[in-house]
Amino acid sequence: MRFLWSTKRLLALTFAVFATGQSFPQTARDADVQQLQRLEQVWNQAHENGDADALDKLWADDLEVDVPRMAVMSKADALNFARSGHMKFLHYVTSDLRVRVYGDTAVVSGQLQRTRSMNAKEISDDWRFTKVYVKQAQQWRVVSFHASESAQSPGS
């Protein structure tokens, strides 16, 4: 009888929680995933706006950038290039994001489609990318960004 009473109370409580729209507390992992998704938007907007200062805050001091048709860059190299105005992004959009968190390290991967203006010429890229973030002093920072050309569809 006691078991039946406990079960009825549990069911009533469960129904009350769902009926009032209450949700269970967000886990630390869920909060990290949301923060990393937000930082992906910060990354994209900083590129489109040519905001090297925003990128400086997002990038770890030991950042490594490895993208097609360019030499591997350190944070200083990448910031100098961003500040040079040599290239302007007209379109910088990511999709198909996958965020995986492993304690104070996270891996974000997805699709990157961007259009850039360089030497008065527009160039479009379609890349797959992987970023590695590390939480330093309670802030997520990018330590590695790697991109490669997306595979062509059969028949392309």
CB atoms within 10 A of CB 142: 21
Counting every residue written for the chain, the total comes to: 156
Please check whether residue 77 lies inside any domain of the structure.
yes
Please check whether residue 95 lies inside any domain of the structure.
yes
Question: In total, how many domains does the chain have?
Answer: 1
C-beta pairs of 122-126 under 8 Å, 24+ apart in sequence = 122/90, 124/91, 125/68, 125/149, 126/150
Domain with 82, as residue range(s), is: 24-149
Each residue's pLDDT tens digit, 39-97: 999 999 999 999 999 999 999 999 999 999 999 999 999 999 999 988 999 999 999 99
Please check whether residue 87 lies inside any domain of the structure.
yes
- Work out the mean pLDDT of the chain and round it to a whole number: 87
Please check whether residue 8 lies inside any domain of the structure.
no
Please check whether residue 128 lies inside any domain of the structure.
yes
CATH assignment of the domain containing 106: 3.10.450.50
Please check whether residue 16 lies inside any domain of the structure.
no
